[in-house]
């Protein structure tokens, strides 16, 4: 879409504010009132802004209030998790439009259902898909990946459900969750921290100066690749640390520790933690051992990054019962570092992906022609 520079600036401010008067838009964009008036008229002419009422100012005079117009469109965020798929669609000002969830195998249907909820005349501007393993093939240098990157057969099946021609960007799911914790979760007000996810796999989102660190290959925080074990009698193997700390190994160790007198062995991490909460001795011992392992990983993170704060997330990591053991082991091995549980839980990844999708959608509006879904 061929917009003037001032119209692009005003649109970005309006998208961030949701609603605003022309004086507010002028202050936000750093433009004069006459320039903003012309920019608003330009946006209204193409349906990117619309009048939404009036507001009384401090002097008693009323001012026109503007919102995004129908042509501004929507974006879609998809969390393609190891077990669940979560989808959110929203307007470019963050207003929710559709939401859904399903199993990983139902990803395509979950996406189609969310798209079907969008009004037929609303253009889809961008899609962000959060996945666990994104190759750097085709890396564009912006921290996002093009849709041609390889993210596995489930992604390929889901991609068929996406409208053709809509920009699709892949992002690491742990980075998305870290971004969500930064803006809406446990790390609000902190511009440097580590988000440590412990679940089916393990991962680290690194935030420094309010920005997610991605690294030269887009692989910063891939703690699954840390050499493990460091033992003269055993050779370190690729991703052996993730194998040791993932939920499957946790449940295997649970089964090995379980006694005939302990009752039925828990088949899920949730059940294991529930038994530990109830004071079950064997369950509590397994959880304590796992907390110590997580604490050692946190100590490695602190040694390299000194983040000041580590947020624990993931299906296992976010459980508050891990906190005492993680804190104790980290304190034993490293310098003081605050450790807290995720405030967003399972929704963190899709929340972060939505923020990225909105940013991409605004870029699309101000730089390209609209794409219909």
pLDDT tens string 219-277: 899 999 999 998 888 889 989 999 999 999 999 999 999 999 999 999 999 999 999 99
Lowest-confidence segment of 9-13, 29-33, 104-108, 306-310 by average pLDDT: 104-108
pLDDT over 50 at 137, yes or no: no
Confidence tier at 101 by pLDDT (50, 70, 90): very high
pLDDT over 60 at 7, yes or no: yes
Question: Are 310 and 302 in contact, with CB atoms under 8 Å apart?
Answer: yes
Delimit the CATH 3.30.420.40 region(s) of the chain. 73-175+349-367, 187-343
Count of Cβ atoms closer than 10 Å to residue 315 Cβ: 20
CATH of domain 73-175+349-367: 3.30.420.40
Residue 59's pLDDT is 60
CATH of domain 5-71: 1.10.10.10
pLDDT over 70 at 122, yes or no: yes
Delimit the CATH 1.10.10.10 region(s) of the chain. 5-71
Residue 138's pLDDT is 40
Tell which CATH architecture fits domain 187-343: 2-Layer Sandwich (3.30)
Contacts within 8 Å (CB) and 24+ apart, 15-18: 15/68, 15/72, 15/92, 15/93, 15/358, 15/362, 16/93, 17/93, 18/67, 18/68, 18/93, 18/94, 18/95
Count of Cβ atoms closer than 10 Å to residue 355 Cβ: 20
Would you give the DSSP letter of residue 135?
A: -
Tens of pLDDT, residue by residue over 154-212, are 788 888 888 889 999 999 999 999 999 999 999 999 999 999 999 999 999 999 999 99
């Amino acid at each position: 879409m061929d917009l003037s520079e001032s119209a692009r600036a005003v649109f970005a401010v309006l998208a961030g504010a949701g609603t605003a008067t022309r004086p507010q838009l002028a202050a936000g964009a750093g433009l004069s009132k006459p320039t903003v008036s012309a920019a608003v008229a330009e946006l209204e002419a193409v349906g990117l802004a619309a009048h939404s009422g009036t507001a009384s100012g401090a002097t008693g005079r009323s001012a026109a209030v503007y919102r995004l117009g129908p042509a501004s469109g929507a974006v879609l965020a998809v969390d393609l998790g190891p077990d669940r798929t979560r989808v959110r669609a929203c307007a470019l000002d963050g207003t929710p439009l559709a939401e859904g969830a399903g199993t990983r195998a139902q990803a395509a249907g979950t996406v189609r259902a969310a798209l079907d909820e969008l009004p037929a005349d609303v253009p889809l501007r961008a899609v962000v898909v959060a996945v666990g393993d994104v190759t750097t093939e085709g890396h564009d240098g912006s921290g996002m990946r093009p849709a041609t990157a390889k993210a596995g057969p489930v992604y390929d099946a889901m991609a068929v459900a996406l409208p053709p021609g809509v920009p699709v960007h892949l992002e690491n799911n742990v980075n998305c969750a870290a971004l969500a914790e930064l803006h809406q979760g446990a790390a609000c007000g902190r511009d440097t921290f580590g988000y440590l996810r412990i679940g089916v796999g393990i991962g680290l989102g690194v935030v420094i100066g309010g920005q997610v660190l991605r690294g030269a290959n887009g692989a910063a925080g891939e703690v699954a690749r840390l050499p493990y074990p460091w033992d003269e009698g055993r050779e370190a193997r690729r991703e052996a640390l993730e194998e040791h700390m993932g939920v499957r190994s946790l449940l295997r160790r649970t089964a090995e520790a379980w006694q005939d007198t302990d009752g039925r062995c828990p088949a899920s991490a949730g059940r294991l933690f529930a038994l530990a909460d109830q004071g079950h001795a064997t369950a509590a011992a397994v959880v304590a051992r796992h907390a110590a392992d997580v604490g050692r990983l946190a100590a490695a993170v602190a040694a390299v990054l000194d983040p000041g704060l580590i947020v624990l997330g993931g299906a296992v990591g976010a459980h508050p019962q891990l906190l005492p053991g993680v804190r104790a082991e980290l304190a034993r091995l490293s310098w003081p570092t605050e450790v807290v549980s995720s405030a967003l839980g399972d929704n963190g990844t899709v929340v972060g992906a939505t923020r990225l999708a909105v940013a991409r959608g605004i870029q699309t509006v101000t730089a390209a022609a609209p794409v219909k879904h």
